[in-house]
A and B are shown apart, each in its own frame.
Chain A
Amino acid sequence: MGNNKYKVLIIEDEANIRSFIGAILESNGYQVLMGATCAQGRMMFSSHCPDLVLLDLGLPDADGTAFIRTVREAGGGAPILVLSARSDERDKIEALDLGANDYITKPFGTGELLARVRAALRDRRPGPATPGEQFKVRGLCIDYDDRAVTLDGAPVRLTQTEYNIVALLAQHAGKVMTYSAIIQGVWGTADAGSVKKLQVNMANIRKKLGARPGENPYIANELGVGYRMYGE
């Protein structure tokens, strides 16, 4: 039994936070490894090959982003979930653009943590859609072959650009895509007006998907950071 548990590495310098996250994960069937510093984290990562990393950015010996950089440069593909304090958007964006999969803002509840962990583990095979693949979440269905989107069975008329954005978010469902990552993926190049262009397109997409403020069932706004398609 013990072998097919997901291994989660927690890198966090606060012992109390480590201990309660560990308790939550263990009681939900994950195998937990812990590191208190960036160096320990690197060591644990290379010797245990965890399936997922929970990473605090403010570590005593080095910035957490240094860990992301080392892991990604070495070709490590394990999802990294950043534990961040509120209001440092710039750090979040930097971590995401370096290859972190998601972030979770401290303080967080058990439910939120477990949902993010599940989403990150599911998101382990990103990349171009395979033929015949469909994306489905509740009433929303995206057919990648036909480039068609339906909502509760009814077709949704999206422009080329709008479709590209929706498809990109869907391929990374559960993961926050930063503005710059989406712009890169959809337009290829960025200029000064890109973010506004993206925001205008997103406003149209929301309208077409029937979203209202506070009731946005498919695409979440991460204010100042980017967008996330819900994976469940």
Chain B
Amino acid sequence: MSATHGVLRDTARTVLILAAALAGCWWLQQAAPSQALVPAVFVLAVDLVALVTEGYAYGIAASLISVLAVNYVFTAPYFVFSLTVPENILSTVIMLAVTIITSTLTTQRKRQDQIRSETARESMRANLLRAISHDLRTPLTTIYGSCSAIIENYDRIPKAQQIKLLGEVREEADWLIRMVENLLSVTRIDGGKVRIVKTPTVLEELIDSVLIKFRKRYPGQAVQVEIPEDFLIIPMDAVLIEQVIINLLENAVQHAEGMTQLWLRVRCKESKAVFEVADNGCGIPRDRLDSLFDGRMDGADGHKNMGIGLSVCATIIRAHGGAITGENDPGGGAVFRFTLALDPAEDPQPEPR
């Protein structure tokens, strides 16, 4: 928004609110003549002005205007600026002080809110970075250690054990790849500067592609798919949404202890597609329900921690203008749900930074 636009908007708001206060007092004066109400109404008006405008200037200007208006219109002698009556001077000074203080306080509070939300974002970023560094170090240690062991003791380690070590190296590398893919996805949309490019994607093809990739990683895990029979096209960045679904499925495999069934459901509700990944495992621990998507790491859980995976999901879905939730099913197990708009015209607003 341009600066002139902001000034115009704030001036218009100030004028409107003051005009409303003036009109209101005038009407009150006609209905029930009472001196006590007028200053109260103007204090309220100034407070409102300070709330809806940027900076101190409008609030203070509004308070000066109010004082003059009260003096001119509503204080005897009417329609004259009179600072000769001592009580008029005193009431003018008091009112000026009250309005300036309220407008200053309101503005200060707004600034503090802004600072607080910036701090929250910073600390979320720091948490994410800490989690990432930790998560990257663990597999790298295994990879480096196993490879060194094999190179330095090539003749002494039995072949079977070498293959076992190399298998672990591959597993860890595979995990690192997925991690980096997640991070890449976030950098692709982080900052809200880069708009997501949505292309019309056939739901069936998306789900097909997801299942093939998921099966490659977890050949033993069956997924029950329930999607609409109809041909359905949803605008999205398919690579990113594919990653969201895979992350959610993977999250179930790694965290839903005792799971015997895993569902992937999609249905249309109003003008939205609702995606659901549900399992019948142990559910989400109650103390984690509130912070599922903020990338918090899970203490001693080693690199099985999917906090980053879930926070990546949230970032992607929000950038699409959708919503994501995670909760426990009353019947047992966890349900993760996210929505995407079906209408391509419904463009997402990029997240403010």
A→B interface (CB under 8 Å): 86-87, 89, 107, 195-196, 199-200, 202-203, 206, 211-214, 216, 220-221, 223-224
Contacts and interface: CB of A to CB of B under 8 A. Distances in A.
Interface residues of B, number: 26
B18 to A, nearest CB: 53
A213 B199 contact: no
B181 A86 contact: yes
B215 interface: yes
B298 interface: no
A216 B202 CA distance: 15
Contacts of B212: 214, 216, 220
B238 interface: yes
Given A200-B231, A213-B225, A214-B225, A223 B206 contact: yes
Contacts of B177: 107
Contacts of A221: 205, 208-209
Contacts of B188: 87
Per DSSP, chain B at the interface is: helix
Contacts of B200: 195-196, 199
Given A87-B184, A213-B204, A214-B215, A223 B231 contact: no
B294 interface: no
Nearest to A86: B181
27 contacts: A86-B184, A86-B239, A107-B173, A196-B200, A196-B233, A199-B200, A199-B202, A199-B231, A203-B204, A206-B204, A212-B225, A213-B204, A213-B208, A214-B207, A214-B208, A214-B211, A214-B223, A216-B208, A216-B212, A220-B212, A221-B205, A221-B208, A223-B201, A223-B209, A223-B238, A224-B199, A224-B239
Per DSSP, chain A at the interface is: mixed
B327 interface: no
B179 interface: no
Contacts, number: 56
A214 B207 CA distance: 7
Contact of A223 (B184, B215, B227, B239): B239
Given A87-B188, A224-B238, 16 more contacts: A86-B184, A87-B184, A89-B239, A195-B200, A196-B233, A199-B231, A202-B202, A203-B202, A211-B208, A213-B211, A213-B227, A214-B207, A214-B225, A216-B208, A221-B205, A223-B239
Given A107-B177, A223-B201, A213 B207 contact: yes
Contacts of B231: 199-200, 203
A229 B106 CA distance: 66
A35 to B, nearest CB: 26
A181 B184 CA distance: 30
Interchain residue pairs A-B with the least CB separation, the first 9:
A214-B211, A213-B207, A221-B205, A213-B208, A223-B209, A87-B239, A223-B238, A199-B202, A203-B231
Nearest to A216: B208
B190 interface: no
Contacts of A216: 208, 212
Contacts of B205: 199, 202, 221, 223
A220 B205 CA distance: 9
Contacts of A211: 208
B242 interface: yes
